Structure 1
Amino acid sequence: MAQQPFPALCRLALALLAGCASFAASAAEEKPLWEAGMGVATVSFPAYRGSDQRQAFVLPTPYFVYRGEFLKADKDGVRAQLFDADRVKVTVSGALSPPAYSRDIKVREGMPDLRANFEVGPQVNLTLWESDNRRQELKLLLPLRAAFTLERSPRSIGWVFHPKFNVDFGGIPGLTGWNAGMQLGPLLGDGKQHQYFYGVDSANATVNRPAYQAKGGFAGMQYVLGVSKRYDKTWVGAFLRYDSLRGATFADSPLVRTRNYVAGGVAVSWILGESAERVLVND
């Protein structure tokens, strides 16, 4: 298992917590402007999409929610809200991925490491349907993000587009207080993005790892199921993600060792402080 730098793990945990928390919807109510706390999470996933080697971590996770008019850090992640209408929202959002060290990945032995990377760009959220109490809803999320390595001198590694349907159930029958949701949709990326993860240049080619030039386009499908519950001062959540690389433009890369895999994680956070100021939210 690759040894990950502690700061990168914290950033990864925040992204996972935001992903789990996104499956918790409720009717409009007054809540603190901000909440802060600490928690712990355990996650397991491949070294990169298509890898047959896994990474698993148990790590501390900061918990922070901010419900401002413009800047928000809540169930939908950390973002700046640029436009808000009844059924259309435009935000700036981001994503994070941990590094993967080639010395720990047999098929990448001798190749450059995959750096931790981040994505940032606009996202359009379209509400297609919602119940009267807003506890059940169907949204179409359209994030378009530029990707960069996370290092002292970041460099561009292309762009990604991940349109997906988001279904919030707002409650699990028979389990009071538990919320559930699901996301599903295709992933697409340009040639630069795919070459970074799946390309093999002539200098790194071997008998068992021939040179390969990755193309842009379809990058497979992703399905996520999440559950969460907020107690008075405690939040718990879990997610399960299934990825399929069947039909991906880079599926025949020698670095793709499996075309189907499952990732998952669980987390618990304790809310240690909150603001006296309250705001009306639909969260």
Structure 2
Amino acid sequence: MRLLSYACIVLGCAALLTSATSVAADRPLWEAGAGLGVLHLPAWRGAAESHELVLPVPYFIYHGRYLRADRQGVRGVLFDSDRVDLGVSLGASPPVGRDSSGVRNGMADLDATVEIGPQLDLTLWRSPDRAHQLKLIIPVRSAFSLSSTPRHAGWVFSPAFNLDMVDPPGLPGWRLGLRSGPIFASSRQHAYYYQVSPSEARPDRPAYSASGGYSGTQVLASLSRRYPQHWVGAFVRYDMLQHAAFDDSPLVARDHYLAAGVAVAWIFGESSERVSVDD
């Protein structure tokens, strides 16, 4: 189960590392590969302690007529529109042990969670050559714990503006992504990480009941490049938890922090069939 948990973390973070493709090209129907990534993440949002993880990174691109998996995620092509996309949003968080931080000492372990749900992408602006584009992304995800008996861990809604740039100034051949937006979550999602039951309370950790609502704001920058036989990418994310619905929980030690990751993947194979891709 721990390996499965880490695999889901990879899938969630891989969505932040966008693959660089050309603006318009004749490309293979599919490409497949694998690599390694190094992630620096907090034990949970607001935790004083962080984790460094070395994990396998899957690489898969598919340019089908009705189903696509690429830098924009996994999505179905349900209607003919170059301004609106409906896809799948993924997220994940690592498990938390009771000894991971003194503030949780004596509390039950938390299983890793995986989040999945629909995502609507609205293209607000793009340059004439389609090298730069601004989108409003609207994902709604349902979270589940990865335990022997998975249980629902609430809902997450994280709308954001996303600016995507091919060949940004001074970085020819690279793709730069900038994303920023607030996060909102249900009371069950906040309770999973921040609630303290009366039986777990102690003098320096009073009982706390979490409510739903505003869950902070994230600002993310990603940079990636596709070479003939491999791909490299990196991201840095800044989280601001001030005024979040749970900011007075005794389990919140920091109201802002940085998370980051780097990854490299090697392309092992591609299809002989080629399709026209308008990226």
Normalised-by-shorter TM-score class: over 0.9
| Distance in 2, Cα, partners of 1:53 & 1:236 | 27
Q: Does 1:19 align with 2:16?
A: yes
| Distance in 2, Cα, partners of 1:230 & 1:190 | 38
Aligned to 1:263: 259
Q: Mean alpha-carbon deviation: is it higher for 159-168 or for 70-79?
A: 70-79
Verify the 8 A CA contact 2:5 2:113 in the aligned structure 1: no
Aligned to 1:56: 52
Verify the 8 A CA contact 1:32 1:275 in the aligned structure 2: yes
Aligned to 2:212: 216
Structure 2 length normalisation: TM-score? 0.94
Which letter maps to 1:77? Answer: G
Aligned to 2:277: 281
Verify the 8 A CA contact 1:81 1:92 in the aligned structure 2: no
Q: Mean alpha-carbon deviation: is it higher for 5-14 or for 195-204?
A: 5-14
Verify the 8 A CA contact 1:97 1:118 in the aligned structure 2: yes
Q: Does 1:192 align with 2:192?
A: no
The offset of 1:272, in angstroms, is: 0.8
Q: Does 1:98 align with 2:59?
A: no
Q: Does 1:44 align with 2:67?
A: no
Q: Which runs of 4 or more aligned residues in structure 1 lie more than 6 Å from their structure 2 counterparts after TM superposition?
A: none
Specify which of 23, 30, 36 is matched with residue 34 of structure 1. Answer: 30
Verify the 8 A CA contact 1:32 1:277 in the aligned structure 2: yes
The offset of 1:6, in angstroms, is: 2.8
| Distance in 2, Cα, partners of 1:136 & 1:17 | 21
Q: Does 1:254 align with 2:245?
A: no
The offset of 1:74, in angstroms, is: 1.4
SS at 1:9 equivalent: helix
Task: Mark the runs of 5 or more structure 1 residues left unpaired by the alignment.
Answer: none
| Distance in 2, Cα, partners of 1:277 & 1:45 | 39
Q: CA RMSD in A?
A: 1.7
Total equivalences in the alignment = 279
**Residues 25 and 270 from structure 1, CA distance in 2 versus in 1: closer, same or farther, beyond 3 angstroms?**
closer
Q: Does 1:237 align with 2:233?
A: yes
Structure 1 length normalisation: TM-score? 0.93
SS at 1:203 equivalent: helix
The percent of aligned pairs where both chains have the same amino acid is: 48
Aligned to 2:4: 7
